[in-house]
Structure 1
């Protein structure tokens, strides 16, 4: 009598519970910095396009400009904290399911995001520092952020930085869209929940 062959189990989804090992997850500090930067970027991108293409009064545009610059300063400072934290706290290893081109794309995408995180606010800082208007940057109404010395009134530098700022914003938006798209693709197709690596809930998140 032939014994019944065991049925092949379905491929399980790697849920939060499957990604609870500390080596699979970012620390709580890194997670907080990640989401602060994400929120700041989306607010900065929205305010930037509103100023450029929205039908706003001069008074509202000025207030939004100050908020936009404040968010840029927040992004720059948070990036410095994030970089410092990463130097002393190794990030989790990439999931073993990522191989070949996927692994290369994941690493390249992260480096592109880091490049934009620093280049975008710096280009904005150069732009306002070299502006012929010399408007101060009052960070959230609390304190004045200094301009870069030696650039005041340099229209050529300001225009160049403005162009770079625009294209960097688009590049950053595309990089983030790819980043989010990859997470969704892995969740739906590969049945892996990578969000568990960068969210506070679940065991294994360390300080």
Structure 2
């Protein structure tokens, strides 16, 4: 089944979830690795270009995923969950979606603000144009520094959200013993409405 039901996720939602999970974890690992490289390292330029290229894929998938979610609502949370736990789950998901947009956009703006003017060549296929940098961020060097902090601390916040998300999934699977994790793994968890 492609679409979600009120009980389980459809194939497209599951595909989006796991593809985004792999891309985002890969991006975080790559970002942490390349941020430790000296600017003179021969790998640095290629890794930054790869990081930016994958960032555009993440941004595209985030838009498509949000559009799919708008026309194909998520299944209900388990009925046994307390209201406070449902609230935390909604906050966590909102945070994850926010970071899926904030990180690629802050990275794109950071590159656009850079006084170096280095182009972004997406997968060595085409150049992505720079965005206009908001004037309230100051001159290009100041804007780049602010956006770098937003991007960096946003990545750390996303890591914390992912750890919380995985911990919640494990709690549901091993402690609550409900279907929460299983329904994001297989469409067989669906029941017809």
**TM-score interval for Structure 1 and Structure 2 normalised by the shorter chain:** 0.7 to 0.9
- The answer as to 2:159 corresponding to 1:173 is yes
TM-score normalised per structure 2? 0.88
- The answer as to 2:60 corresponding to 1:77 is yes
Q: Give the alignment of 1:146-161 within 5 angstroms.
A: 146-149=129-132, 154-161=140-147
Q: Give the alignment of 1:34-73 within 5 angstroms.
A: 34-54=17-37, 58-73=41-56
Which portions of structure 1, spanning 4 or more consecutive aligned residues, are displaced by more than 6 angstroms? none
The structure-2 alpha-carbon separation of the partners of 1:134 and 1:95, relative to structure 1 and needing over 3 Å to count, comes to same
Whole-angstrom CA distance in 1 between matches of 2:82 and 2:47 = 44
TM-score normalised per structure 1? 0.82
Residue of 172, 181, 189 corresponding to 1:195: 181
Cα RMSD (Å): 2.2
- The answer as to 2:77 corresponding to 1:91 is no
In structure 2, stretches of 5+ residues that fail to align are: none
Whether the 8 Å CA contact 1:109–1:179 is kept in 2: the answer is yes
The Cα of 1:22 is off from its aligned counterpart by 3.2
The Cα of 1:93 is off from its aligned counterpart by 1.0
In structure 1, stretches of 5+ residues that fail to align are: 1-20
How many residue pairs are counted as aligned between the two chains?
186
The structure-2 alpha-carbon separation of the partners of 1:81 and 1:65, relative to structure 1 and needing over 3 Å to count, comes to same
The structure-2 alpha-carbon separation of the partners of 1:57 and 1:192, relative to structure 1 and needing over 3 Å to count, comes to farther
Whether the 8 Å CA contact 2:49–2:120 is kept in 1: the answer is yes
Whole-angstrom CA distance in 2 between matches of 1:74 and 1:154 = 26
Whole-angstrom CA distance in 2 between matches of 1:138 and 1:205 = 45
Whether the 8 Å CA contact 2:10–2:187 is kept in 1: the answer is no
Match for residue 9 of structure 1?
none
The Cα of 1:142 is off from its aligned counterpart by 2.1
